[in-house]
Amino acid sequence: DPELSDEFQLLLAWADQERKLGVRANADNPEDAKKAFEFGAGGVGLCRTEHMFMDLKRIPIVQKMILAENYSERMEALGELLPMQQGDFEGIFEAMEGLPVTIRLLAPPLHEFMPDKEELLVDVTKLQILDPESAELTKKELLLKKVRQLEEFNPMLGHRGCRLGMIYPEIYEMQAKAIFYAAAKLTEKGMEVQPEIMIPLVGHVNELKQMRQLVIDAAVLVQEETGKSIEYTIGTMIEIPRAALTADQIAEEADFFSFGTNDLTQTTFGYSRDDAEGKFLQAYIENKVLPENPFAVLDQEGVGKLVETGVKLGRTAKPSLKTGICGEHGGEKSSIDFCYRTGLDYVSCSPYRVPLARLAAAQATIRHEQKKEEVYTTA
């Protein structure tokens, strides 16, 4: 683990006095959250919950949830996952010592949790020859059928993000309850917690409206059960152009916006974030079609315009709206400068980039405030 030298700590402390932009970290587990805290993050700006489901011990339960024949079977699987999720959130809240933690409800396509289709096909074919009457074959065939049903041509544009919560509200309900149980338990111990619940991939205000109500209901339920009142906020990712363009409507249902510039870059350019870098993007950069990789450095002319529009419309509808960015760009110098100029409240980046982001945020302030002064003195 890299340690920060005393001199560098001093420089960072000085940078913190100058900067106006908050710096948070993206962290999905207590270890990353601890690193973020040590590196001076002002909170967790993005806790992606999907990694928690990928845990080897949990995959069978997750598959049970997806393969469930009916609601009660699915609820049984979710009942097993709830205490595990609660533990995940307790660990992250504890590591952040009362700083705000933005937890994003489940976002990836469901089939990511399913076994590999090709391997499954080989297993089924083998069993059909060697043991055609076996229960194992029936089980694998059912699994294969489900994997095929869940398969999509464009998973990144498919049944992902809040679209999962809309179709399987019980998954988001379980996550929201786990967050509130964790918060109630730590509050009981006298600790401070600031949960911020974030809904991903919203494109229409009605998605947020429904998911927000679901989170509020879960909070009421847990508060009644535990007798603990929990302070929390609900917000959304802005990562679909339509969300940025209708940000005034969306702000009515949100306490905060976090710009997901990875997806916003994908959807604004129409480039697949999984494929573009490995296919044509390098050639584009070499041939000067693009000045740089827009997935690394924020494209201020296009994607940035959507961010500006989102902030402006959102704040017009709700002046108290908090705004941040949590895509890869949140840890990149020139993108951080853009975030400062756009008036965002914070950037969120990987824990190891937090020191760099603190410096870049201070540089942005100094650079632009100084310019303002120059204008005054020459006027």
Binding footprint of Mg ion on the chain (CB under 5 A): 239, 260, 263
262 binds ligand PEP (CB under 6 A): yes
Of the candidates 47, 162, 326, 349, the residue annotated as catalytic is 326
Q: Helix (H, G, I), strand (E, B), or coil: what is residue 203? A: coil
Please work out, in degrees rounded to the nearest 5, the angle formed at the alpha carbon of residue 351 by the alpha carbons of 347 and 353: 65
- Among Mg ion, ligand PEP, none, partner that 34 touches (CB below 5 to 8 angstroms by kind): none
131 marked as part of a ligand binding site:
no
Surface-to-core class of residue 209, CB atoms within 10 Å of its CB (0-12 exposed, 13-18 middle, 19+ buried): middle
C-beta of 105 vs 362, nearer to ligand PEP: 105
Query: Which is nearest to 115 in space by CA: 61, 53, 63?
Result: 63
Tokens 């590999």 sit on residue: 116
Do 48 and 28 meet the contact criterion of CB atoms below 8 Å apart? yes
Among 28, 196, 253, 263, binds ligand PEP (CB under 6 A): 263
Q: How far is the CB of 95 from Mg ion (least distance, A)?
A: 23
C-beta of 260 vs 331, nearer to ligand PEP: 260
22 binds ligand PEP (CB under 6 A): no
48 marked as part of a ligand binding site:
yes
242 marked as part of a ligand binding site:
no
262 marked as part of a ligand binding site:
yes
Q: How far is the CB of 263 from ligand PEP (least distance, A)?
A: 3
263 marked as part of a ligand binding site:
yes
C-beta of 233 vs 262, nearer to ligand PEP: 262
Q: Quote the tokens at residue 64.
A: 């049970």
260 binds ligand PEP (CB under 6 A): yes
339 binds ligand PEP (CB under 6 A): no
DSSP state of 156: G
Residue 288 Ramachandran class (φ > 0 left, ψ -120 to 50 alpha, else beta): left
Number of Cβ atoms within 10 Å of the Cβ of 156 = 17
Sign of CA dihedral 57, 63, 68, 74: positive
Our answer to whether residue 162 is catalytic in this structure is no
Q: Helix (H, G, I), strand (E, B), or coil: what is residue 288? A: coil
- Among Mg ion, ligand PEP, none, partner that 48 touches (CB below 5 to 8 angstroms by kind): ligand PEP
Pairing of strands 22-26, 100-104: unpaired
C-beta of 48 vs 322, nearer to ligand PEP: 48
Binding site for ligand PEP (CB under 6 A): 46, 48, 107, 239, 260-263, 326-327
Q: Which residues are annotated as a binding site for Mg(2+)?
A: 239, 263
Q: Which residues are catalytic?
A: 326
